[in-house]
């Protein structure tokens, strides 16, 4: 465990308000960012973060340091966000089947030729790219979007996602691949270098 974390944990567990406030201001921004990605609603994301902090403070005395403090807090805010996700208002989503790869009767792929392909490094220089990518991810139906967010962006393992969502690892993998394939289609104009 980091020495700073150890000191913060001891102070928070002892009810030290300034130390608690420092902890909230230090970890709050990224926790709110995680919650917003999952819940997609500012109000519910703030509720999720508040609930997560309550869980963290209730259990911090028993934190055993087997994982990094941030990893432990991350799992808690993910869990709280998932609980609130279904309450959030849904914006429009796309039909996932319509974004899957297409094959002919011989099982051969039907794919428009890729004459040019922008690299992610080139695209990430653009100031609007993060908003564009997040906007496309948000178009995926929740049961696919959440798996892509947890696996590819929050970097949880297949096993962790499976446990959090209460579905089999095989199901996580199937949905992840379909979500990625759909996102590829949605991001194609950007990756092909076409103006968006």
Partner 1 sequence: MSRAAPTLMRRIHGMMFKLPLMITCEAFEDFILAYLEDELSARQRFVFEMHLKLCRECREYLAAYRASLELAKAGGKAPEETLPPVPDDLVKAVLDARNQ
Compute how many residues bind partner 1; rule: CB under 8 A: 59
CB of 35: closest distance to partner 1 in angstroms?
Answer: 11
Which range, of 61-69, 90-98, 119-127, 159-167, touches partner 1 by CB under 8 A?
119-127
96 neighbors 141 (Cβ within 8 angstroms) = yes
Sign of the CA dihedral with 135 first, then 137, 73, and 87 last: positive
Nearer to partner 1, 66 or 125 (CB): 125
Q: How far is residue 76 from each of residues 50, 52, 61, 193, measured CA to CA in Å?
A: 11, 6, 15, 39
Secondary structure (3-state) at 166:
coil
108: β partners: none
Q: Which two tokens stand for residue 91?
A: 């914006």
Our finding on whether 161 is near partner 1 (CB under 8 A) is no
Our finding on whether 184 is near partner 1 (CB under 8 A) is yes
Please identify which residue in the block is written with the tokens 């609007």: 128
CB of 79: closest distance to partner 1 in angstroms?
Answer: 17
Nearer to partner 1, 66 or 116 (CB): 116
Task: Compose the 24-63 pattern: x for residues touching partner 1 by CB under 8 A, - for all others.
Answer: xx--xxx-xx---x--------x--xx--xx--x------
Task: Let me know how long the chain is.
Answer: 196
Near partner 1 in 122-141, by CB under 8 A: 123-124, 129-130, 132-134, 137
Among 64, 97, 98, 104, binds partner 1 (CB under 8 A): 104
Instruction: Report the alpha-carbon distance of residue 56 to residue 17 in Å, rounded.
Output: 15
Which stretch of DSSP H or E encloses residue 148? helix 142-148
Round to the nearest angstrom and report the end-to-end CA distance of the chain: 46
Shortest CA distance to 184 belongs to which of 120, 127, 131, 124?
Answer: 120
Which residue ranges make up the site for partner 1 (CB under 8 A)? 17, 20-21, 24-25, 28-30, 32-33, 37, 46, 49-50, 53-54, 57, 101, 103-115, 117-120, 123-124, 129-130, 132-134, 137, 148-149, 152-153, 173, 176-177, 180-181, 183-184, 187-188, 190-192
């Amino acid at each position: 465990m980091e020495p700073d974390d150890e000191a913060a944990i001891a102070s928070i567990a002892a009810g030290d308000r300034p130390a608690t406030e420092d902890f909230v201001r230090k970890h709050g921004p990224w926790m709110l960012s995680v919650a917003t990605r999952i819940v997609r609603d500012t109000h519910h994301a703030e509720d999720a973060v508040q609930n997560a902090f309550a869980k963290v403070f209730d259990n911090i005395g028993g934190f055993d340091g087997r994982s990094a403090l941030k990893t432990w807090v991350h799992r808690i805010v993910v869990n709280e966000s998932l609980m609130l996700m279904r309450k959030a208002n849904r914006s429009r989503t796309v039909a996932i089947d319509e974004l899957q790869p297409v094959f002919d009767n011989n099982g051969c792929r039907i794919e428009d030729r890729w004459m040019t392909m922008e690299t992610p490094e080139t695209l990430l220089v653009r100031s609007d790219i993060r908003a564009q990518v997040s906007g496309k991810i948000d178009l995926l139906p929740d049961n696919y979007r959440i798996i892509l967010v947890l696996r590819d962006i929050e970097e949880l393992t297949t096993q962790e996602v499976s446990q959090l969502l209460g579905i089999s690892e095989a199901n996580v993998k199937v949905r992840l691949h379909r979500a990625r394939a759909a996102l590829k289609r949605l991001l194609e104009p950007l990756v092909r270098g076409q103006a968006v």
